[in-house]
Chain A
Amino acid sequence: MSARNGVLSDTRELRVVGFLCNWCSYGGADTAGVARFEQPTDLRIIRVPCSGRIDPLFIMRALVSGADGVLVSGCHPRDCHYAEGNYYARRRLELLKQFLPITGIDPQRFEYTWVSASEGARWQEVVTKFTNRIHELGPAPRMQGGSGYDELCLKQIEEGVKQGPACPCHKERAL
């Protein structure tokens, strides 16, 4: 939650959050570690019991709080430790993926995939690919500002005034 209020600057290494299921993907990451596969260091792993435990709001909270990317990984379909957790997860995560563009958050910053405990090499590939993608995208924009006296807010409003109304649907303030 550390960057919730934009306390830390963007000059640090990028923050990629990984939600990994305990039984497969976390094991996979472990396997990759034991096998000494080289991995990017930006990923901070949060271990969850099952990908079915992941609320899409975990991902939103991470993105709003300053994560530059969020990776979710669980057991392959048909392989869930709890038989069907990842099926539910798949539906939720897919919806989130489709929803993200409306918020202006790049959907490329979020990905979900399946890695089993034995797939150390695959984990290495997934995490490297995703981290590289986030590095290409660069730091995510942070939602900042508040009401009233906020100095930052003043600057942004000034920008806003220069640009004119931001939303075409409200240019005619009717709908």
Chain B
Amino acid sequence: MEAKFISHDETTLWLDELAERHVVLAPMWDNTVVTFRPHVKGRVPVLDRMPVMPPKDGVFPQNEVLLKYKHEKDPENLDRTTVQVKETLPQETAVVVGARPCGTRGMLVFDRVYDCDKIRDPYYVGRRQNTLFVTVACTRIESTCFCHDVGSHPADAEGSDVLLVPVKGGYVAEAVTERGEELLKASFFKPAAAKVQEAEEVKSVNREKLPEAHDYTGCGEKLMARFDDLAFWTEQSAKCISCGACTYLCPTCYCFNITDDSVGLAGKRLRTWDNCMSFQFTLEGSGHNPRPTKAHRLRNRVNHKFAYYPELHGVIACCGCGRCIKSCPASVDIRAIVKAAQNYTPKQEEGGDER
């Protein structure tokens, strides 16, 4: 597929045009952070940095109404009620613009869970099919970045429909899928010609900026070997404050909760993001909690990414974006925890087991 060029100014115009037909989620400044917000005409997207929020909101919104219901009382016999239920499947088509390759690749982790032979989540699949990803190749390697450790790189187009590579004056756009190619037919895209070479250089330069990749091979077994070692997890989780910043900002965290929001006799059934760092996540009706401390909970999060999921699906469920490290109020570093399990040597003394 032939690469195209689009200038910075025309990128905004292109989004204006797209926003007439689709919901366009693009990164915007919100105080000191960049988050995804619906694009409105004329607003210049912020494409030169990694948004603090992952792009998963585009396909797996934090709030999703699964259905609406209404109870009706039988006027003849008030003890009898009937319930009407109306499913609310997603209708919108969306284009998520400006995610980094790491964030977009996060959706692949979702696909294996919500769209596979055994399970097909109609809400997820509905949105997934209606959502295109226009990803911007990463040119800014931060200290929290480790996409290369988990088998990716700053210009990875896997999972994207279009990859934009920043070059002087604009972007070189490469279509990755057929639907992406369709997008590039817009008049704003010009032949890229000489820019292609520059784009290739941008890609390779940034790949080289990353330090040597850490080898996570076999980390699953090492982590599982520590599974019952609560002292290990207590030490690793000591500074964790058990909030949900890491999970909510994670492009690959896909757990949800379902609650009913009733207003009188009518209401809606909501699906919202859930968070395994929370005490309530595994709290049972009896009051028993199988993961009572933050050590249990952080163990679950790390193991899920680096042990359980790889065992089921063969790939690490972490895209290496580093949001969980960068946005952690206590700077808990997931890389360090996995490495600690990999390099574990038994100590003479056992530590305490505080929460």
Is A4 a contact partner of B263 (Cβ separation < 8 A)?
yes
Interface pair B62/A148, CB less than 8 Å apart: yes
The complex places the Cα of A158 from the Cα of B42 at a distance, in Å, of: 10
B-binding residues in A (CB < 8 A): 1-2, 4-5, 7, 146-149, 153-154, 157-158, 161, 167, 170, 173-174
Question: Which of B25, B40, B92 is within 8 Å of A158, CB to CB?
Answer: B40
CB closest residue in chain A, given B62: A147
Contact partners of B264 in chain A: CB under 8 A: 2
B218: min CB distance to chain A, Å: 39
Starting from the known contacts A157-B40, A174-B32, 12 additional A-B residue pairs (CB-CB under 8 Å) come to A5-B261, A146-B63, A147-B61, A147-B62, A147-B63, A148-B62, A149-B23, A149-B94, A153-B38, A154-B40, A173-B29, A173-B32
B interface residues (Cβ-Cβ under 8 A, vs A): 23, 25, 29, 31-32, 37-38, 40-43, 57-58, 61-63, 92, 94, 261, 263-264
Kindly count the residue-residue contacts between A and B in the assembled complex, taking CB atoms under 8 Å apart: 44
A148 and B31 within 8 A (CB): no
Out of A2, A7, A157, name the residue touching B37 (CB < 8 Å): A157
Q: How far is the CA of A1 from the CA of B271 in the complex (A)?
A: 20
Evaluate contact between A5 and B92: CB separation under 8 angstroms: no
Q: With contacts A2-B263, A2-B264, A5-B261 known, is A147 near B57, CB below 8 A? A: yes
Whether A154 and B263, one on each chain, are in contact in the complex, defined by CB atoms closer than 8 angstroms, is: no
Report yes or no: A7 in contact with B40, Cβ–Cβ below 8 A: no
Contacting residues, chain A, for B37 (C-beta < 8 A): 157
6 cross-chain CB contacts under 8 A: A4-B261, A5-B261, A147-B61, A154-B38, A154-B40, A161-B42
Q: How far is the CA of A76 from the CA of B42 in the complex (A)?
A: 58
Nearest CB on A from B224, distance (A) = 37
**In the assembled complex, how far is the CB of residue A42 from the closest CB belonging to chain B, in whole angstroms?**
19
Contact of A149 among B32, B40, B41, B61 (CB under 8 A): B61
User: Do B263 and A149 have beta carbons less than 8 Å apart?
Assistant: no
Q: Given that A148-B62, A173-B32 are contacting pairs, would A1 and B263 also be in contact in the complex, using a CB cutoff of 8 Å? A: yes
- Closest A residue to B266 by beta carbon equals A7
A173 CA to B94 CA in the complex, in Å? 29
Residues in chain A near residue B31, CB distance under 8 A: 167, 170, 173
Chain A residues, CB < 8 A from B261: 4-5
Q: Are B40 and A161 in contact (CB under 8 A)?
A: yes
- Given the complex, which residues of A lie within 8 Å of B43, measured CB to CB? 161
For the complex formed, measure the closest distance between the CB of B253 and the CB atoms of chain A, giving whole angstroms. 16
Give the nearest-CB partner of B33 in chain A: A173
Instruction: Determine the residue in chain B with the shortest Cβ distance to A170.
Output: B31
Contacts of B40 in A (CB 8 A): 154, 157-158, 161
Q: Chain B residues near A153 (CB, 8 Å)?
A: 38
Query: From residue A5, how far is it (CB to closest CB) to chain B in Å?
Result: 7
> Which residue of chain A has its CB nearest to the CB of B94?
A149
Q: How far is the CB of B16 from chain A (nearest CB, A)?
A: 12
For the complex, give the distance between the alpha carbons of A57 and B40 in Å. 36
